[in-house]
Amino acid sequence: MKRRDVLLSAGFAAALSAPAIADTWPDRPVRLVIPWPPGGGNDIVGRIVAERLGQTLGRTVVVENRGGSNGVIGAEVVAKSRPDGYTLMFHSVTSHVVNPVVFPRLPYDTQRDFIPAAILGYSPLAIIVNPALGIRSLAELISRIREAPGTFNYASFGNGSAGHLAGELFKQRLGLDIVHVPYRGGGPALTDTISGAIPMNFAGTNTSASALRGGLVVALAVTGSRRSSILPDVPTVDEAAGLTGFDMGVTYAVWAPAGTPDAIVDRVAAECVKIMRDPVALAPLRENGVEALPPMNAAERAARVARETEVLTRVARESRVQID
């Protein structure tokens, strides 16, 4: 009986202290790990969110890029950090949840070691090509690939990334023979597409937006279920190639290490909702092709993650995406 009373008292005390934790957190800078190199979609969007989150919290949010292995290197840092709210991660749901399928071993458990603290927005990818190819439509690209099977390479921003899965789904649905070339982020992949080192790229719309405006690359289609707000004249893959239901983009989220107090997770979620409802804060995100998603509670965030996990796992397995 005494042991039970002690446990009940401890639980009651923790419940009472939860609001106090949220009220005092943060009392020092917060680290936001972006598990991608600078210049890619996660980095561009993550830095915008970090700046705004710092303003709403009243504390500096310091971005730390830990790129490599489709986000695995940075995610390991976060998984093993102290769950006190001072280390968070900005990482796409898309790449994060598919890593257990494409990597034979991970240094953490994707489901057990992370909490989706906020799911902010969604961005489709753009199928872009180097202008020197002379290709101006998706139909032309498909025709050119079929004329010379096995000779076209496509870039993505990492093994197992949304770009990789979009490319494999594109190959699968159309029966094409193209070769995947993974990069360590969207920035390096875009650089090589601009230079002509690689002919085509499944790129983040945010990563490629300025290059598209400058005519350095050509967008043939977007991979979402509807057109991108920043590329309204670019058709969807469905419109351009008749691939009904083709939808492969990037869902952006803020994650906390498992064990982070609920009160802090709730505070992160609430501040992110403020950001996505603020027209001034939302403007630079929309300029980078990110569409705000409706606010979600903890159960809705978990359901979204589970749903994306199911879809992406199926695509990865059917395409036999595997990384040694």
Q: What is the pLDDT of residue 103?
A: 87
Residue type for position 316: A
Tell me if residue 180 falls in helix, strand or coil: strand
Kindly state the tokens that stand for 7: 């446990």
Name which of 6-15, 35-44, 83-92, 120-129 the model is least confident about.
6-15
Q: What is the pLDDT of residue 135?
A: 97
What's the pTM?
0.81
Q: What is the pLDDT of residue 316?
A: 87
Give me the half-sphere count of Cα atoms (radius 13 Å) on the Cβ side of residue 23. 5
Instruction: Give the mean model confidence (pLDDT) for residues 11-38.
Output: 76
Tens of pLDDT, residue by residue over 110-138, are 999 999 999 999 999 999 999 999 999 99
Q: What is the pLDDT of residue 323?
A: 63
Residue 19's pLDDT band (cuts 50, 70, 90): low
CA distances from 278 to 11, 49, 271 (A): 37, 12, 11
Mean pLDDT for the chain overall: 90
Residue 87's pLDDT band (cuts 50, 70, 90): very high
Could you give the domains of the chain? Answer: 2-123+250-318 (3.40.190.150), 124-241 (3.40.190.10)
Instruction: Give the mean model confidence (pLDDT) for residues 264-272.
Output: 96
Burial status of residue 3 (CB atoms within 10 A of its CB: 0-12, 13-18, 19 or more): exposed
Residue 23 has pLDDT above 80, yes or no: no
